[in-house]
């Protein structure tokens, strides 16, 4: 029984469609036609009311298909009714009742009312709904990429989860499909209205011919009989059609509402009490302009009373809201844990002055938040570290066009941009009178602030021109890359391990926690990021650590082992046309550094004599300066001292790459540019 009920439930709509098609060719009795006509009216009313109670259009996403099926059903009813009218002059009690109610004793009036009904549906409601569907479909498809980008930006900013982002993308696609289908489905309603007019003409003309020629009726009797039946048939089918056309119009015009139609109408029309006061004043004036005064005075009084009620309710709600907010604030401040909120801080913060706030809000063609979201994706793909959300907020302590970047609450850089101008860098002799000399806040290069109308001239002069928002985002990117090793924490490493465990569970299980703790792994990854080594190839990193951690837990030694495993990844960006241009260390320098390495409980460190260190650094500067222009040298050292030499040089030559011989793959061609000596 349950199975039969399930089969019937699944097959109901296909069976109904087949029955509607059969009705086009198979005659049915008048009493069955009466049942179908009442079902048609009830279905149209149900659809109309449903469009008013849904919260969003996707709640009735089946509407385009439903519109097609109801149109087919209605056409089948019209054909069946026409057959009964012309053959038997007896289409059933429903059609005859509707016809007599409208026509009465005056055929001409009935026909005129029916024609007006058809015109309203065809020219007003159906045509308007069709146009709105067409425009809605076009704009929905145009806005689809922007909506998907907004979802991606919120996902990358950590505002929504992956499941919610996936659902919102599906809703965007469904919405585009819905409006596209509505654009086509509205054509069915228009065609149905045209078919209704043609069928009415056929019924009247055909009925007169059959009544006079075959049934030998008088002209007046035939006209009255077939007109009543035709108008009745038209009303019983066109009234549901009018209801469905209205439902179509309501559905496609509800793009800007978030609740039911009833709630939105009442809420929005009663939002401003002054509107009701103006209505009351106008009605009172009409009472003194010669109209019967009773009705305008009553309606005006009701409007004034409604405005007064709305205003009183809004004042009470505002007062209650303020009271609740104050009570909640007092309650939170009294709690002992309220002070804990002052302890936490964001990993990355971007503070902007008041003059830069429009860049954050997306005005003037910019949206700093979307650019930062794209930046986070870029750095994640580049370094393998999932960058935490960047907190962007205004700071009244900054000057108008200043911005400040903080990492874990510590101020790193403060710079200034011109939001009304573009930054031109690298051009020679721009020849722009309005250009203002400045220094690029990111790389410290000479630059100019130029107006937008001078942008083409600056680009023709060979300058790179970027807007103020791009300057800020680029500066933020450089700061994040440089300090990524400070950003990564144990919680970030835990998230990376949980992710890699899904594809490489064996190496994770072998390494953590038996060989290394989460904190030790975090220190190794921090060492790699400190020299801008990507940790994207985490499986290779874990494999190298699992091999080396069996013999030592020295973080520096483990880091060097990982670097050797990542040798190709490290050296590839340093090559120029397949060649590594290198500066090497003399045996004396290597021996001096090796002998100065000391061990302690906290690990190994370099205890080099300051005078010797100064000689090494001075000679290194001279060697680097002697390198030909356009070539970036790389220092090559032995694996044992590589890390200590990097620590020695990073304060004066932070961007100088230092690699070990063990990191060089055999196919790399090395060209020596100089030797660092004592």
Q: Which long-range contacts (C-beta less than 8 Å, at least 24 apart) are formed by 391-396?
A: 391/346, 391/348, 391/349, 391/350, 392/349, 392/350, 392/352, 392/360, 392/368, 393/349, 393/350, 393/351, 393/352, 394/351, 394/352, 394/353, 394/354, 394/356, 394/357, 394/360, 395/351, 395/352, 395/353, 396/354
Q: Is the pLDDT of residue 343 over 60?
A: no
Instruction: Kindly report, residue by residue over 475-495, the tens digit of the pLDDT.
Output: 888 888 888 888 888 888 888
Q: Is the pLDDT of residue 449 over 60?
A: yes
Contacts of 287 (CB under 8 A, 6+ apart): 293, 296, 297, 300
Which is more confidently placed, 262 or 87? 87
Which is more confidently placed, 304 or 134? 304
What share of the chain in percent tops pLDDT 90? Answer: 0
Angle at CA of residue 543, ends 539 and 545, nearest 5°: 115
Query: In this predicted structure, what is the pLDDT of residue 364?
Result: 43
The span from the CA of 380 to the CA of 408, in Å, is 19
The span from the CA of 168 to the CA of 648, in Å, is 52
Torsion angles phi and psi, residue 160, rounded to 5: -135, 160
Mean pLDDT of 613-621: 86
Of 11-20, 215-224, 540-549, least confident by mean pLDDT is 215-224
Of 12-16, 350-354, 640-644, least confident by mean pLDDT is 12-16
Count CB neighbours of 590 within 10 A.
17
Residues 496, 383: contact at Cβ < 8 Å? no
Task: Return the H-helix or E-strand segment holding 173.
Answer: helix 162-209
Peptide bond into 513 cis (omega under 30): yes
The span from the CA of 414 to the CA of 401, in Å, is 11
Across 157-171, 201-215, 234-248, 489-503, which has the greatest mean pLDDT?
489-503
Query: In this predicted structure, what is the pLDDT of residue 365?
Result: 43
Residues 156, 373: contact at Cβ < 8 Å? yes
The residues facing 404 across adjacent strands are 351, 414
Query: In this predicted structure, what is the pLDDT of residue 188?
Result: 66
Of 226-230, 395-399, 434-438, least confident by mean pLDDT is 226-230
The residues facing 394 across adjacent strands are 352
Residues 585, 676: contact at Cβ < 8 Å? yes
Q: Is the pLDDT of residue 111 over 80?
A: no
pLDDT band at 66 (very low <50, low <70, confident <90, very high): confident
Q: Is the pLDDT of residue 187 over 70?
A: no
Count CB neighbours of 316 within 10 A.
10
Q: Is the pLDDT of residue 2 over 60?
A: no
Mean pLDDT of 546-561: 86
Of 58-62, 464-468, 530-534, 622-626, least confident by mean pLDDT is 58-62
Mean pLDDT of 632-659: 84
* DSSP percent split of the chain into helix, strand, coil, nearest 5: 65, 10, 25
- Please give the model's pTM, rounded to 2 decimal places: 0.52
Residues of the chain with CATH 3.40.50.12790: 567-678
Residues 391, 372: contact at Cβ < 8 Å? no
Torsion angles phi and psi, residue 311, rounded to 5: -65, -40
The span from the CA of 539 to the CA of 552, in Å, is 20
Count CB neighbours of 337 within 10 A.
7
pLDDT band at 564 (very low <50, low <70, confident <90, very high): confident
Cα-based distances in Å from 536 to 504, 506, 529, 665:
14, 18, 11, 20
Query: Among all chains, which residue has been given the structure tokens 């007019």?
Result: 197
pLDDT band at 656 (very low <50, low <70, confident <90, very high): confident
Query: In this predicted structure, what is the pLDDT of residue 519?
Result: 87
Which SS3 state, helix, strand or coil, does residue 562 take?
helix
Cα-based distances in Å from 450 to 32, 288, 303, 414, 430:
81, 66, 59, 21, 10
The span from the CA of 193 to the CA of 123, in Å, is 10
Q: Is the pLDDT of residue 306 over 50?
A: yes
Mean pLDDT of 268-275: 71
Residues of the chain with CATH 3.40.30.60: 348-485
Q: What is the CATH number of domain 567-678?
A: 3.40.50.12790
Query: In this predicted structure, what is the pLDDT of residue 182?
Result: 66
Q: Is the pLDDT of residue 323 over 60?
A: yes
Q: What is the CATH number of domain 348-485?
A: 3.40.30.60
Q: Any alpha helices (H) in 120-161, and if so which ranges?
A: 127-156
Which SS3 state, helix, strand or coil, does residue 46 take?
helix
Q: Is the pLDDT of residue 58 over 80?
A: no
pLDDT band at 273 (very low <50, low <70, confident <90, very high): confident
Identify which of 217, 198, 259, 286 has the alpha carbon closest to the alpha carbon of residue 59: 259
Decide: residue 330, CB within 10 A, 0-12 exposed, 13-18 middle, 19+ buried: exposed
Identify which of 601, 591, 604 has the alpha carbon closest to the alpha carbon of residue 647: 604
Task: Starting at the earlier edge strand, list the strands of the sheet with 422-425.
Answer: 436-439, 446-450, 422-425, 464-467
Mean pLDDT of 231-239: 69
Count CB neighbours of 195 within 10 A.
17
Instruction: Kindly report, residue by residue over 411-427, the tens digit of the pLDDT.
Output: 888 888 888 888 888 76
Which SS3 state, helix, strand or coil, does residue 606 take?
strand
């Amino acid at each position: 029984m349950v199975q039969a009920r399930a089969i019937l439930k699944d097959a109901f709509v296909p069976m109904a469609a087949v029955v509607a098609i059969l009705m086009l060719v198979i005659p049915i009795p008048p009493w069955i036609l009466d049942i179908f006509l009442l079902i048609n009216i009830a279905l149209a009313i149900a659809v109309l009311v449903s469009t008013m109670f849904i919260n969003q259009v996707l709640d009735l996403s089946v509407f385009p298909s439903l519109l097609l099926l109801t149109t087919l059903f209605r056409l089948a009813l019209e054909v069946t009714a026409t057959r009964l009218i012309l053959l038997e002059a007896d289409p059933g009690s429903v059609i005859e009742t509707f016809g007599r109610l409208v026509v009465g004793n005056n055929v001409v009036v009935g026909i005129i009312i029916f024609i007006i009904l058809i015109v309203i549906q065809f020219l007003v409601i159906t045509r308007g709904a069709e146009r709105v569907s067409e425009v809605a479909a076009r704009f929905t498809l145009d806005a689809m990429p922007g909506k998907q980008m907004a979802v991606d930006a919120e996902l990358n900013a950590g505002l929504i989860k992956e499941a919610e982002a996936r659902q919102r993308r599906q809703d965007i696609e469904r919405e585009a499909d819905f409006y596209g289908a509505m654009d086509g489905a509205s054509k069915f309603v228009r065609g149905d209205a045209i078919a209704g007019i043609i069928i009415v003409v056929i019924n009247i003309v055909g009925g007169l011919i059959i009544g006079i020629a075959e049934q030998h009726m008088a002209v007046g009797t035939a006209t009255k009989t077939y007109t009543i039946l035709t108008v009745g048939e038209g009303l019983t089918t066109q009234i549901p059609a009018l209801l469905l056309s209205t439902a179509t119009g309501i559905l496609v015009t509800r793009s800007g509402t978030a609740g039911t139609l009833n709630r939105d109408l009442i809420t929005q029309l009663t939002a401003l009490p002054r509107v009701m006061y103006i209505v009351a004043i106008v009605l009172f004036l009409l009472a003194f302009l010669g109209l019967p005064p009773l009705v305008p005075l009553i309606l005006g009084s009701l409007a004034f009373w409604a405005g007064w009620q709305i205003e009183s309710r809004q004042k009470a709600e505002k007062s209650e809201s303020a009271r609740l907010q104050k009570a909640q604030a007092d309650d939170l401040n009294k709690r002992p844990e309220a002070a804990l909120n002052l302890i936490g801080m964001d990993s990355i913060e971007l503070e902007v002055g008041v003059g830069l706030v429009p860049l954050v809000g997306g005005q003037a063609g910019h949206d700093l938040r979307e650019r930062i979201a794209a930046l986070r994706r870029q750095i994640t793909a580049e370094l393998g570290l999932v960058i935490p959300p960047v907190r962007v907020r205004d700071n009244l302590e900054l000057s108008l066009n200043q911005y400040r970047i903080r990492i874990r609450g510590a101020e790193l850089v403060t710079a200034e941009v011109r939001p009304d101008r573009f930054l031109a860098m690298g051009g020679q002799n721009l020849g722009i009178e309005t250009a203002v000399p400045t220094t690029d806040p990111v790389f410290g290069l000479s630059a100019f602030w130029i107006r937008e109308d001078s942008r083409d001239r600056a680009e023709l002069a060979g300058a790179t021109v970027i807007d103020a928002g791009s300057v800020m985002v680029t500066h933020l990117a450089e700061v994040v890359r440089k300090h990524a090793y400070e950003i990564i924490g144990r919680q970030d490493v835990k998230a990376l391990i949980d992710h890699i465990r899904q594809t490489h569970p064996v190496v994770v299980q072998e390494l953590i926690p038996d060989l290394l703790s989460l904190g030790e792994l975090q220190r190794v990854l921090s060492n790699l990021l400190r020299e801008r080594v990507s940790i994207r190839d985490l499986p290779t990193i874990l494999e190298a650590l699992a091999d080396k951690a069996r013999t030592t837990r020295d973080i520096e030694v483990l880091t060097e082992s990982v670097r050797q495993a990542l040798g190709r990844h490290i050296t590839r960006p340093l090559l120029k046309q397949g060649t590594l241009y290198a500066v090497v260390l003399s045996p004396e320098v290597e021996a001096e550094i090796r002998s100065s390495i000391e061990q302690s409980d906290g690990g190994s460190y370099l205890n080099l004599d300051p005078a010797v260190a100064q000689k090494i650094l001075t000679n290194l500067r001279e060697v680097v300066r002697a390198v030909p222009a356009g070539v970036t040298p790389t220092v090559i050292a032995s694996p044992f001292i590589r890390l200590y030499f990097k620590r020695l040089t990073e304060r004066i030559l932070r961007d100088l790459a230092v690699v070990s011989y063990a990191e060089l793959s055999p196919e790399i061609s090395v060209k020596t540019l100089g030797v660092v000596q004592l």
